[in-house]
């Protein structure tokens, strides 16, 4: 089969970013028609329906395209698991996986990647067996993610700042135990993040050395400090300068076991996917993803 003519199964989340996917759909249809790419659109009722549709489309020889946020892509990645190539049209709030792959935010430009992009083999993350593509984190991050997802009046990426401040105001230190392959770390602090990619939270480079194709997770531990110091250092996450700070430690591991002295959910790709205790691992080269051609 001519890969450029393979039919696309465009699976969209109508609720992503408060309907952004629906608003962008006419432009996507127009561009796909211009490119003469055969496609069909599937409006997912929920994540389970999206995964079922993605698995069926892949089995039928279609290229599965996620049109939504990181959570949608992570779920489809888990459903397809290398059986077919996956495409991305960013239509969520954070779009961090697209950012990792330098897939344009503009829907017409993202469609061009579906037409002439190259296939890359990438790793998949799992937390207690639940798939994710970006970063699984817990602790303070759990509280901030929950607040961001529940916010209704704050729009766009401002919701991440709002959530960070709300979570910090109510935060009390937690003690974490983390096993990284054959070593163990115990500390009091804010966050444990196991990263397959560099970005989360709409562009925060929490794990600047993470590589989704190296078969490893970058694990970031953020130890306890005063709330004032934590707040003053928060902007450094966007430039990755936070990893130079005392109290921020990074490790590399294939498998990470995380527990804490009180209950926490684990969030990944913007959604709650499990709870502690959690085993987070990397599944090497489990994804086939359409990405832009290198400009080098």
What does the alpha-carbon distance between residue 261 and residue 241 come to, in Å, rounded to a whole number? Answer: 29
271 is catalytic: yes
Among residues 141, 143, 269, 271, the one annotated as catalytic is 271
Decide: 126 and 283 in contact? Cβ < 8 Å. Answer: yes
Residue whose tokens read 């990284």: 180
What does the alpha-carbon distance between residue 142 and residue 154 come to, in Å, rounded to a whole number? Answer: 19
- DSSP structure class, residue 57: H
Closest CA to 200 of 82, 103, 71: 71
Residues taking part in catalysis: 271
């Amino acid at each position: 089969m001519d890969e450029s003519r393979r039919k696309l199964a465009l699976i969209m989340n109508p609720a992503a970013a408060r309907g952004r996917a629906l608003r962008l759909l006419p432009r996507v249809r127009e561009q796909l028609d211009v490119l003469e790419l055969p496609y069909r659109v599937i409006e997912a009722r929920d994540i389970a329906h999206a995964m079922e549709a993605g698995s069926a489309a892949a089995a039928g020889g279609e290229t599965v395209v996620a049109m939504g946020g990181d959570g949608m892509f992570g779920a489809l990645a888990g459903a397809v698991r290398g059986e077919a190539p996956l495409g991305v049209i960013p239509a969520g709030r954070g779009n961090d996986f697209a950012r990792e792959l330098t897939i344009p935010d503009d829907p017409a430009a993202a469609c061009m990647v579906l037409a002439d992009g190259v296939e890359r083999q990438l790793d998949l993350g799992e937390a207690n067996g639940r798939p994710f593509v970006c970063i699984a984190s817990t602790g303070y991050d759990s509280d901030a993610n929950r607040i961001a997802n529940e916010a209704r009046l704050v729009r766009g990426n401002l919701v991440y700042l709002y959530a960070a401040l709300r979570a910090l105001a109510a935060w009390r230190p937690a003690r974490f135990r983390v096993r990284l392959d054959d070593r163990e770390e115990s500390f009091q602090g804010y966050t444990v993040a196991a990263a397959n990619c560099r970005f989360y939270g709409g562009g925060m480079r929490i794990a600047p050395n993470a590589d989704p194709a190296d078969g490893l997770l970058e694990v970031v531990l953020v130890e306890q400090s005063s709330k004032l110091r934590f707040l003053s250092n928060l902007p450094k996450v966007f430039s990755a300068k936070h990893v130079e700070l005392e109290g921020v430690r990074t490790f590399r591991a294939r498998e990470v076991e995380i527990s804490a002295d009180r209950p926490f959910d684990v969030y990944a790709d913007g959604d709650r996917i499990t709870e502690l205790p959690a085993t987070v691992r990397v599944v090497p080269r489990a994804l086939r993803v359409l990405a832009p051609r290198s400009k080098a």
